[in-house]
């Protein structure tokens, strides 16, 4: 146990403290699922697991509330495993190391997993509670949300009896989410021709790091730098004047995280290496000045390394640089109907080279289906210019707002009473499982809310501790009001 278990409300934080010790990356939810089942069993609650690994736990209503409408509480079990490159941490075996940072709880150099671990902990606390008033409850724990909402996509809807759902994955205190964007990924594969590494050359490992990254839905409008595209831009800018070769390009990690770091291996003739270092420094100064407000921690590191066995041909290197510079990244369009809402965006999420091929992952979002199709068409067209192979993965639907929702009216009333403030009702650009569940179970009445979680999907992730208590009070009050 850590100090986290002693935070208030202890019923919630004690579970989150335990969750910090359990590996739960996307597609690796076996141990956290077993923990959920163990809590259900020791409290005598029935549970069922569908064929894909989602869990539903059922809890009867409290005395006198057995006939109230069933409420579904829903959170996802998985987290985004991201860490700083200088941090020694194995997400498969090592517990998350929590630290306090003023009013916030964060992790030591890694993601914290408060997205959506706080929601999971809240549900576990309510499963165990014997001092709350509520109608029949169903606790839906989904898997693999962070890599495309595939757990919700494979959900067996027959496990659910309720038709009112509280999703606990909103990350802005005081907001109630009633709609979200849909999204889809595109994978590009560019073949690379190689030649033996030339003699009389110096090898440089170039690394761009220190960027903030963040959630590609929630943070995309902040105009943070994309390490992959910035490094490609810098090398592209000097390639006309400095002869040389590329041998490797890597960057980014998860489809829903803006790349914070990128690296390349560059082979330069010995008599040109000084010019290369000087010009890269000049290009970095340009980027540093351009992003001085949004990326104050950006760093360029260049170190000499061993000569690779092979390098890419000039034509292949140009194909790589042209592709990475040309691909779209960031906000594509703002909503014409809701002020301040990003309508369409795309994230140049990850790049990997493996000798004879370069793989690029793009993740696109939009609240307008035709716009999502258009941005994917644009990616396809750019890839075609480089003669890259294109694989378009199945996407997930958006969630259309229903401002006449009954549960929305309940939450608005309770929010005003409990907090003294009216909630901010909004749609978000991030993807939520509500869109898929609503399409799968027609007539499902849904809203989403949660505590204050900032910078998810990056090692800067943090949760405002006192907001968790207010979130839990709101949640339990909503359950009581819904049973009346």
Phi, psi at residue 141, to the nearest 5°?
Answer: -105, 110
What value does the CA radius of gyration of the chain take, rounded to a whole number of Å? Answer: 24
User: Does the annotation count 78 as an active-site position?
Assistant: yes
User: Phi-psi category of 210—alpha, beta or left, where left has phi over 0 and alpha has psi -120 to 50?
Assistant: left
Q: Which of 237, 224, 362, 197 is nearest to 295 (CA)?
A: 224
> Is residue 192 within 8 Å of 356, Cβ to Cβ?
yes
User: Phi-psi category of 102—alpha, beta or left, where left has phi over 0 and alpha has psi -120 to 50?
Assistant: left
The catalytically annotated residue of 138, 145, 219, 343 is 145
> Is residue 319 within 8 Å of 190, Cβ to Cβ?
yes
Q: State the DSSP code for 95.
A: P
User: Phi-psi category of 358—alpha, beta or left, where left has phi over 0 and alpha has psi -120 to 50?
Assistant: beta
Helix (H) or strand (E) segment spanning residue 76: strand 71-76
Chain centroid to CA 52: 21
Q: How far is CA 38 from CA 32, 55, 117, 124, in A?
A: 10, 12, 17, 10
Instruction: Answer positive or negative: Cα dihedral of 158, 164, 166, 172.
Output: positive
The catalytically annotated residue of 78, 115, 138, 169 is 78
User: Phi-psi category of 293—alpha, beta or left, where left has phi over 0 and alpha has psi -120 to 50?
Assistant: alpha
Q: How far apart are CA 371 and CA 377, in angstroms?
A: 10
Residues assigned a catalytic role: 78, 145
């Amino acid at each position: 146990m850590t100090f986290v278990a002693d935070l208030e409300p202890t019923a919630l934080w004690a579970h989150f403290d335990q969750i910090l010790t359990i590996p739960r990356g996307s597609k690796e939810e076996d141990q956290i699922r077993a923990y959920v089942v163990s809590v259900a069993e020791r409290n005598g609650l029935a549970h069922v697991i569908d064929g894909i690994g989602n869990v539903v736990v059922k809890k009867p209503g409290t005395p006198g509330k057995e006939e109230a409408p069933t409420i579904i509480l829903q959170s996802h079990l998985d987290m985004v495993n991201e860490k700083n490159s200088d941090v020694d941490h194995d997400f498969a075996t090592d517990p998350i190391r929590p630290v306090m940072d003023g009013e916030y709880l964060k992790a030591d150099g890694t993601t914290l997993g408060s997205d959506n671990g706080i929601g999971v902990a809240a549900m576990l606390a309510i499963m165990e509670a014997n001092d709350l008033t509520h109608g029949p409850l169903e606790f839906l724990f989904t898997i693999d949300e962070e890599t495309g909402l595939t757990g919700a996509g494979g959900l067996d809807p027959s496990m659910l009896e309720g038709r009112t759902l509280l999703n606990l994955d909103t990350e802005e205190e005081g907001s109630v989410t009633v709609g979200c964007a849909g999204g889809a990924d595109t994978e590009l594969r560019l073949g690379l021709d190689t030649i033996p590494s030339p003699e009389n050359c110096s090898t440089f490992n170039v690394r761009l790091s220190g960027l903030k990254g963040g959630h590609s839905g929630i943070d995309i409008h902040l105009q943070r730098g994309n390490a992959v595209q910035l490094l490609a831009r810098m090398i592209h800018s000097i390639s006309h004047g400095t002869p040389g070769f590329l041998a490797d390009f890597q960057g980014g990690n998860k489809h829903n995280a803006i790349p914070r770091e990128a690296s390349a291996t560059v082979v330069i003739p010995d008599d040109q290496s000084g010019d290369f270092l000087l010009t890269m420094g000049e290009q970095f100064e340009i980027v540093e000045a351009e992003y001085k407000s949004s990326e104050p921690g950006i760093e360029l590191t260049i170190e000499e390394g061993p000569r690779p066995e092979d390098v890419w041909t000039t034509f292949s290197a140009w194909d790589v640089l042209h592709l990475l510079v040309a691909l779209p990244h960031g906000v594509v369009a703002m909503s014409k109907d809701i002020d301040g809402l990003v309508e369409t965006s795309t994230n140049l999420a990850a790049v990997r080279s493996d000798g004879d091929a370069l793989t690029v992952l793009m993740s696109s979002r939009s609240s307008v289906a035709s716009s999502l199709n258009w941005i994917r068409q644009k990616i396809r067209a750019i890839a075609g210019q480089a003669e890259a192979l294109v694989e378009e993965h199945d996407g997930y639907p958006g969630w259309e707002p229903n401002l006449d929702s009954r549960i929305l009216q309940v939450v608005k009333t309770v929010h005003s009473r409990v907090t003294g403030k009216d909630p901010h009702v909004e749609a978000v650009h991030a993807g939520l499982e509500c869109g898929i569940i609503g399409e799968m179970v027609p007539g499902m009445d849904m809203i989403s809310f949660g505590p204050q979680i900032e910078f998810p999907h990056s090692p800067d992730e943090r949760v405002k501790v006192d907001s968790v208590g207010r979130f839990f009070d709101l949640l339990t009050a909503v359950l009581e009001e819904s049973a009346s």
